[in-house]
Structure 1
Amino acid sequence: MKKIQMEFNYLSQTKEIGIIKVGGEIDLNTVVEFSEFMEQALANPCQKLLIDLQNLAYANSSGFGILASAALVEQEKNGKKIVFCNMQPVISKVYNIFGMDQVCPQYTSLEQAMAALQCPEKKPQEKATFPLIRTCTECQKPSNFPKAGHYKCPYCNTIHYLDEDGNLQQINRSKKKKAAKEKSLATNIDEVDITLPSDKQHLSKLRDFIFSFLVDLFNEEERSRMAMAVDEACANAIEHAHGEDRSKKIHLHIEVSQKKFSMTVTDSGVNTFKNIVHRDQVNQDILKETGRGMGLILIKQMMDEVSLKPTDTWGTSITMTKYVKKDEE
């Protein structure tokens, strides 16, 4: 079992600026401990708060939900100025998925974050001026966007949503490109089947396995994202489908080729499929209130394709696919 390191200190004797440092891994096994620490840390009075995640190697949706919820509440209700710094790439991606980049700025170093806390407040950023030119997230070709809304790429048919701030989000994968990828899949597919007890202490081992198993096909950041998706799926099975009953099993079926990696996680739940929360975007009101219910959003963002179906007992089987990116693509 991997542990988590947490500490709170003041940066000066005036106690104007507090700093929270988090290291290790936050998953289903350590999230309660992390939640208790954050509650105690935020009880310390300060006007400004710096959250340093330099040594945080992993945070699941629940752990990051606690961070995001605490930051949003402290900033909105208590008027604290809050900044984050030193995020690993996969942590930074989750930060952006949660929409935190629009609320609390993040910096690449502790020095930059401290300088930002000590300088005067800046005026809110103005809305983007339309029309805008943005690059398709799939084929990387530029297109003109006259106003905010949904658009289909004229080159590959991928659908995007452009918000009022000029941020572009992919809604679905181009059907043509998806079909082409499916057609070109290698026939030589290796299959691996794993059955695990519903025990949260196995999650870190499973993440390590995914990270090392795919070293020849995906880069470090992609493997980190895939490990996060698999962790979220298994954590949902343990917590929601099985109620942390260790006697119930999680079945993993892996298919890997030179073209793609696919894993199906099947739980032993009974009549739990109907309880799945389907959201396409993070709801910040829910995020502030509970910090929960964002796992499926993360899975969809981390993988190329995700599908869910009920089992014979109306538990859940979720299949997650990631395509290998080639230099010419």
Structure 2
Amino acid sequence: MAEEITEDMAEEIVLKIPSRARHLHLIRGVADSLASEMGFSDRERNRTVLALDEACANIIRHSCGENSNIIIDITFTVTEELLTITLRDFGKCGGGLDIEKIERDLGEVKPGGLGVCIIKSVMDTVEYTPDPKNGNVLVVTKKVC
């Protein structure tokens, strides 16, 4: 029996991509379409897509490193008022994405760490759980505004 989505259920869209930068456009496209359908303003839609792109680029660069065979699972959960994006990878535990420790003035010019600052400043919530057994998980949310 096929599962049906009712009006009050969240919708989930799941992508599984190899950890290669050339696939980032697919993730950006889904995020952009969903944010647009949900009624995000152009500004917030673009900022959300940028934050997601930064998160994925960090996973590819720091967690997966040179191993482009690691799969990244991206789950978009959509409700009427909230977009939740869950990223899971089985790369290096921690993977350089230490959300809690990285604090920086966005006006400060120096290489590195800016992506995490963008993610934290754009998204409403950011939760990162490094776990060598179950995969590194980053969950970000954005309310429709």
Distance 2:137 2:91 in 1: 10
- Paired residues for 1:65-214 under 5 Å: 187-214=8-35
> What code does the residue aligned with 1:212 have?
S
Give SS of 1:216's match. Answer: helix
Classify the secondary structure of the residue corresponding to 1:230: helix
Q: Does the CA-based 8 Å contact 2:63-2:95 persist in structure 1?
A: no
**Aligned equivalents of 1:298, 1:319: Cα separation in 2:** 15
Unaligned runs of 5+ in 2: 1-6
Structure 1, unaligned runs of 5 or more: 1-185
- CA drift of 1:283 comes to 7.5
Where relative contact order (Cα < 8 A, 6+ residues apart) is larger, the structure is 2
Query: Secondary structure of 1:281's partner?
Result: coil
**Aligned pair partner of 1:302 in 122, 140, 143:** 122
When the two chains are superposed, the root-mean-square deviation of aligned CA atoms in Å is 2.2
Q: Secondary structure at the match of 2:37?
A: coil
Q: By how many angstroms is 1:209 displaced?
A: 2.2
Query: Are residue 260 (structure 1) and residue 82 (structure 2) matched?
Result: yes
CA deviations on 1:150-186 (whole Å, 9 max, x unpaired) are: xxxxxxxxxxxxxxxxxxxxxxxxxxxxxxxxxxxx9
Q: Percent same amino acid at aligned positions? A: 29
- Aligned mates of 2:24, 2:16 — CA distance in 1: 13
1:282 alignment partner in structure 2: 105
Question: Residue 45 of structure 1 aligns with which residue?
Answer: none
Helix, strand or coil for the counterpart of 2:24?
Answer: helix
**What is the rounded CA distance, in whole Å, between the counterparts of 2:17 and 2:29 in structure 1?**
15
CA positional deviation for 1:215 = 1.1
TM-score by length of 1: 0.38
In the alignment, is the contact (CA less than 8 A) between 1:207 and 1:231 conserved in 2?
Answer: yes
Alpha-carbon shift at residue 238 of structure 1 (Å): 0.7
Equivalent in 54, 65, 68 of residue 246 of structure 1: 68
- Structure with the greater alpha carbon radius of gyration: 1
Distance 1:281 1:227 in 2: 21
CA distance in 2, matches of 1:262, 1:215: 14
> How far apart are the structure 1 equivalents of 2:68 and 2:32?
25
Q: CA deviation at 1:284?
A: 6.6
Aligned residues: 136
User: Is residue 233 of structure 1 aligned with residue 48 of structure 2?
Assistant: no
